[in-house]
Amino acid sequence: MKIALFGNPNTGKSSVFNMLTGLRQQVGNFPGVTVDKKQGSIQTPNGKHELIDFPGTYSFFARSLDEQVVKEVLNDSAHPDYPDAIIYVADAANLERNLLFFSQLYDLGFPIVLVLNMWDRAQQKGLQINLELLQQSFPDAQIVTTNARVSIGKTRITTALDALEKKERAPFLAFDRQQLQSDQAQTLNTNQRLEKIRALGLVQQRNTPAPNKSTRLDQILTHRIYGYLIFSLILLTIFQFIFSFASIPMDFIDGQFVRLSDWCSQVLPEGVLTRLIAQGLIPGIGGVLVFVPQIAILFFFIALLEESGYLSRVVFIMDRLMRPFGLNGKSVVPLLSSVACAIPGIMSARTITDWKERLITIFVAPFMSCSARIPVYTLLISVVIPKTYIGGIISLQGLVLFGLYLLGILFALGTALVLQFLVKNRTSGYHVMELPDYKNPRMSNVGYTVLEKVKVFITDAGKIIVAISILLWALATYGPSSRTAALKDLHQSQAFKNANETQKQELDNSLLLSQSYIGHFGKWMEPAIAPLGYDWKIGVALLSSFAAREVFVGSLATIYAVGEDSDGQKRLVHKLKEEKNERGKPTYSLATGASLLVFYVFAMQCMATLAVVKRETQTWKWPLLQLLFMGVVAYLSAFVVFQILV
């Protein structure tokens, strides 16, 4: 049997899903749309069933993307996800409004289990629910009470599922889908339904409720000073983790893959296949896994904030600030996370329900200067920006670095501003939102979210990243047959004969890269990048750093035949400062350096971002548009900067 899980947002629906399926769950997309579909299997006394978790919605009438998915599936009995039965999760402490959607599903005729979740909270609030009356009002529904946060009620649900029967039933209130198309008709039906539900008198307040603790907390957390202060502190903490602490597991993963690659080249027989595995495939997979710590950390925090109810307060206090840019408060977390890395940032844009706002957020996120740009920035700044202090205090180099970050942020917001007029709205945006009571986060739910995001990244984006990195590796490793002759010439040169073993290796690598396909391509495109102040060597570094921005530094190190260790970095800076072009002027002049810096602020230069955008928008259209747009902006601004400064 195929069973669908429905319910309003904030009813603990995902707790119920996790309780029922445990680790037997996987995430995908509903066909053709970018709405998460979680699937799992559940075991009832009578058999095994498939459970599909639908997004939380308030009614059958669709406005947002999430709601459209729900409506489309329910309206089409031939849809692959069309359910045989429904589990409806309701917040027992908020029963009447939750019964609206339930009564609609009941009237559509589905065999249905009504789960009154958070039963304990209803009791705490002093609410008495007349279950007998509820059963009389919906005679064909199976009604159970649960408390999924502490895993109470699993067998009640599975037993109730087995007791379901499909039969004709009298509707709670006439519900003719064909006639309920207009806004007025929908409003009228909703109002009648709610009135009828309220008239049942299902809920009695036993004693006067204690003043809402959440509201008191909100006086501080949404305060115009403390609210922003606390949010900044939380953000700083998250940043500290993604920026600094994540580098520990990242370096570890990096190191392990380097060792694995070395081990493979030693153990496996010398040949093309071994090189492909040791230098192409293994580093490619390593290049995927290296993002896992940052993704896991960011989603750990986001899930924690969401579970606690705080995330909706962030949206509440940031909404007004983001609105001028066509974004809402939900864009804040994705955009700010992108300062560490756009990959988890873009993945976290899923929390934005409005498609247009989500798309704009995803589109502008890579303009935020991520941590992979830092090695490029610091190298170029130390080469072309003098180490002087303005007024004896402010470091000019630091000021330039700050300016680059600012440039990225301003451009991201500016692009969002323009895009809100260009992107068509698929759904009508409204911003009525529930502010759920604060709760203690349930750590197992947090764990499931982290696991799910990591899995999605590895399986969906990982394939693309590995494929592109193998391609780039092949282009940088192989070259036309003329290479052999060039290598022979090098080996006969006096400079090579005088060099020591390490230097020989470095000279070899430099020649092999410059004679590779990427090297030839770099030379071929030199006329195109000359107006930006770049020579073919920079062109090669640009091309190879499409894998990831920081590769720029490594590529230059290879081309100029200096090692990549910490001493190599110093030698590289020295070498770049000495480098002269054919007119005897320094290649890395202020104009060229500034032009390169600006280029790296704007250019996409990250295949992992492309892969993630493809995954999140379910089409190649958006990542390719983004690549093109960012490329054009980078090229033009680098051109302008160079021409002004030269």
Partner 1 sequence: MLLLHMSQTLDAISLNELVEIAAISNDAIAPKLSEMGLTKGQKIKAIFKAPFGDPIAYEINGNVISMRKEEAMQVEVQMA
Residues binding partner 1 (CB under 8 A): 58-59, 61, 63, 93-94, 96-97, 100-101, 125, 183-184, 186-187, 190-191, 194-195, 209, 212, 214-215, 218-219, 222-224, 227-228, 312, 315-317, 319-321, 428, 430-437
Alpha helices in 323-395 (DSSP H): 332-337, 342-347, 355-364, 374-384
- How far is the CA of 92 from the CAs of 62, 113, 114, 122, 535, in angstroms? 24, 14, 11, 6, 68
Nearest distance from C-beta of residue 221 to partner 1, angstroms: 10
Least distance from partner 1 to the Cβ atom of residue 411, Å: 25
Min CB(548)–partner 1 separation in Å: 39
Nearer to partner 1, 154 or 196 (CB): 196
Write out the H or E segment, with its range, that includes residue 147: none
- Do strands 47-53 and 2-7 pair parallel, antiparallel, or not at all (unpaired)? parallel
User: CA-CA distance, 324 to 314, in Å (whole number)?
Assistant: 17
Rank residues 7 and 227 by Cβ distance to partner 1 and give the closer one: 227
How far does Cα 502 stand from its chain's mean position? 42
Q: Which is nearer to partner 1, 95 or 594 (CB)?
A: 95
Identity of the residue, 420 or 509, whose beta carbon is nearer to partner 1 in the bound complex: 420
Nearest distance, CB of residue 337 and partner 1, angstroms: 22
Closest approach, Cβ 97 to partner 1, in A, equals 5
- 3-state class (DSSP) for residue 405: helix
- Characterise 145 by phi-psi region: left (phi > 0), alpha (psi -120 to 50), beta (else): beta
Q: How far is the CB of 120 from partner 1 (least distance, A)?
A: 16
Element (H, E) at 203: strand 203-205
Q: Which of 303, 196, 289, 206 is nearest to 250 (CA)?
A: 289
* Nearest residue to 88 (alpha-carbon basis) of 7, 193, 159: 7
Nearer to partner 1, 212 or 256 (CB): 212
Q: Find the shortest distance in angstroms from Cβ 445 to partner 1.
A: 22
The H-or-E segment that residue 266 falls in is helix 247-267
Nearest approach in angstroms of CB 192 to partner 1 is 9
Which CB sits closer to partner 1, 1 or 433?
A: 433
Structure tokens at 336: 């700010």
Element (H, E) at 107: helix 95-107
SS3 394: strand
Judged on CB neighbours under 10 Å (0-12, 13-18, 19+), 497 is: exposed
**Amino acid identity of 309?**
G
- 8 Å CB contact between 416 and 326: yes
CB 65 within 8 A of CB 74: no
- Cα distance between residue 645 and residue 597, in whole Å: 13
State the minimum distance, in angstroms, from the CB of residue 321 to partner 1.
Answer: 8
Q: How far apart are CA 356 and CA 428, in angstroms?
A: 9
Nearer to partner 1, 93 or 246 (CB): 93
Whether the CB-CB separation of 607 and 461 falls below 8 Å is answered with no
* Residue number, 317 or 634, with CB nearest to partner 1: 317
Identify whether the C-beta of residue 91 lies closer than 8 Å to the C-beta of residue 66: no
Q: Of 224 and 488, which CB lies nearer to partner 1 in the complex structure?
A: 224
- Please, which residue, 165 or 183, has the CB nearer to partner 1? 183
Residue 217 vs 374, nearer CB to partner 1: 217
CB of 425 to partner 1, least distance (A): 13
Nearest distance in Å: CB 431, partner 1 = 5
